[in-house]
């Protein structure tokens, strides 16, 4: 990237702030009351009036004519409800700084996008667009080998269209791979992007370790925290420079709207917002922003239910004779309660891969024929329980094991009802 922009966004001031203040060990066993308190902290803005205002504001346009300082004369360029949502995102990811008597809003900012993929694309574009075209040859991102399908496209094909190389894919769960890739591609890596918990195999990358390696090369660490949410892990504590979210998932909680978020240094976010204003890469209406703002305030309550249900269901699956293996590790000392989140993956029992795939397909058909308790649907973070067969879905992920099922545990119905339903489903699938 342009050296000047790199020094502006990730300068010595940011590095010192990160090392001395942001990096804060978390006692994940403590009462969650503190998280709830600062993540719900009100912005003091009168938000509900904002929704009724037109997208353009005559009064503020009048101020422009008179030469008065103004902003937000059009929703795409900003609005009070967008600022309030951004502040709530900062408090969710970095509100713990209040315990140090540091106001996170003085150092960190956030912005929102139409979807999670828009957030990822926006970050990539912001890190690239200031770089002169003639300097882009050979430059690329370093990414986790297992990321969301369309993230591969953004860091691959889309970056090639911008004159860069496709991202190098590595297993970030192995620190030596990260060190080796950075050493072999010195001065060529724009940033490291990964998901701390991968989809669907729930493999964990330790951001603390990645940070220690990346800082030696002055490379920004970009973390997609969608799966864990700040309720389970706050990547700034561990050394991340930029955090992205698909707000469509747990932050929304109802699966009825799209949204994305980027949280980072104030300098980086201010620059990114300028690009958003000219491209229209923003949440599309005040009412959607307000709804996300209100739902984000209840994230901890929703996640508590998701996680408790997931733990009970995972315990059942681990003891089931119809399940060969379960991917739902204990991340003790890394996340709240050691939880890897509310997504469980498991492999159907079978004598060989063909049988496992058949059993997987039969289980999915059972959910299609008997909708209600568990729905045959993609996505996660919804009120409902959602399940898909990874092998039979047709995503082209040939590297995944046969018979692999991904279960995005919801909030309703409760775990005991889901377990009873699973017992019936397994008995049907494995009946002689």
28-47: pLDDT as tens digits: 655 677 788 877 775 555 44
Nearest to 422 by CA among 326, 307, 337, 305: 326
pLDDT at 4: 52
- List the chain domain ranges: 3-297, 300-429
Q: Is the dihedral of CA 127, 131, 133, 136 positive or negative?
A: negative
pLDDT at 432: 58
pLDDT at 398: 64
Q: How many CB atoms lie within 10 A of CB 277?
A: 14
pLDDT at 394: 60
Architecture field, domain 300-429: Alpha-Beta Complex (3.90)
pLDDT at 6: 65
Q: Is the dihedral of CA 336, 337, 342, 347 positive or negative?
A: positive
Please give the model's pTM, rounded to 2 decimal places: 0.92
* Residue count of the chain: 432
Q: Which residues of the chain have pLDDT under 70?
A: 1-7, 27-31, 42-77, 394-398, 432
pLDDT at 168: 98
pLDDT at 9: 82
Instruction: Tell me the longest C-alpha to C-alpha distance in the chain.
Output: 82
CA distances from 191 to 10, 126, 163, 254, 363 (A): 12, 11, 16, 32, 41
In Å, how far from its chain's centre is CA 306?
16
> Side-chain half-sphere of 285: how many Cα atoms within 13 Å?
7
pLDDT at 54: 46
Fold of 3-297: 3.40.640
> Side-chain half-sphere of 179: how many Cα atoms within 13 Å?
6
Beta-strand (E) ranges in 258-312? 260-265
Contacts of 125 (CB under 8 A, 6+ apart): 162, 275
Q: What is the DSSP letter of 288?
A: H
Q: Is the dihedral of CA 84, 86, 92, 94 positive or negative?
A: negative
CA distances from 352 to 138, 275, 337 (A): 44, 52, 36
């Amino acid at each position: 990237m342009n050296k000047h922009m790199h020094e502006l966004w990730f300068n010595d001031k940011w590095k010192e702030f990160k090392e001395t203040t942001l990096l804060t060990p978390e006692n994940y066993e403590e009462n969650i009351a503190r998280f709830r308190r600062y993540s719900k902290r009100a912005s003091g803005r009168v938000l509900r009036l904002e929704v009724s205002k037109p997208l353009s504001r005559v009064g503020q346009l009048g101020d422009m004519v008179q030469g008065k300082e103004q902003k937000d004369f059009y929703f795409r360029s900003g609005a009070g409800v967008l600022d309030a949502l951004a502040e709530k995102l900062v408090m969710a990811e970095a509100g713990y700084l209040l315990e140090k008597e540091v106001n996170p809003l003085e150092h960190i900012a956030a912005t929102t996008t139409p979807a999670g993929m828009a957030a990822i694309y926006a970050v990539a574009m912001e890190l690239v667009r200031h770089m002169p075209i003639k300097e882009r040859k050979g430059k690329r991102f370093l990414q986790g080998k297992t990321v969301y399908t369309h993230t591969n496209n953004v860091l691959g094909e889309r970056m090639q269209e911008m004159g860069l190389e496709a991202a190098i894919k590595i297993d970030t769960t192995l620190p030596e791979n990260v060190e080796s890739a950075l050493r072999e591609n010195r001065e060529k890596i724009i940033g490291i992007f990964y998901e701390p918990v991968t989809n669907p195999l729930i493999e964990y990358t330790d951001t603390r370790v990645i940070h220690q390696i990346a800082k030696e090369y002055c490379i920004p660490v970009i973390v997609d925290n969608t799966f864990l949410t700040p309720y389970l892990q706050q990547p700034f504590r561990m050394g991340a420079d930029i955090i992205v979210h698909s707000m469509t998932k747990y932050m929304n909680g109802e699966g009825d709207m799209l949204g994305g978020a980027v949280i980072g240094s104030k300098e980086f976010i201010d620059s990114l917002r300028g690009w958003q204003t000219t491209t229209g890469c923003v949440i599309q209406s005040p009412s959607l922003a307000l709804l996300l703002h209100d739902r984000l305030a209840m994230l901890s309550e929703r996640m508590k239910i998701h996680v408790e249900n997931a733990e009970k269901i995972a315990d059942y699956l681990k003891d089931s004779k119809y399940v060969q293996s379960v991917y739902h590790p204990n991340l003790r000392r890394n996340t709240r309660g050691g939880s890897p989140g509310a997504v469980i993956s498991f492999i159907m029992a079978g004598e060989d891969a063909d049988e496992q795939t058949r059993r997987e397909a039969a289980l999915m058909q059972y959910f299609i024929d008997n909708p209600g308790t568990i729905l045959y649907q993609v996505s996660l973070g919804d009120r409902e329980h959602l399940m898909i067969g990874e092998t039979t879905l047709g995503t082209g992920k040939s590297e995944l094991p046969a018979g692999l099922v991904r279960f995005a545990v919801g909030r309703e119905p409760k775990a005991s009802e889901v377990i009873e339903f699973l017992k019936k489903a397994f008995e049907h699938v494995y009946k002689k």
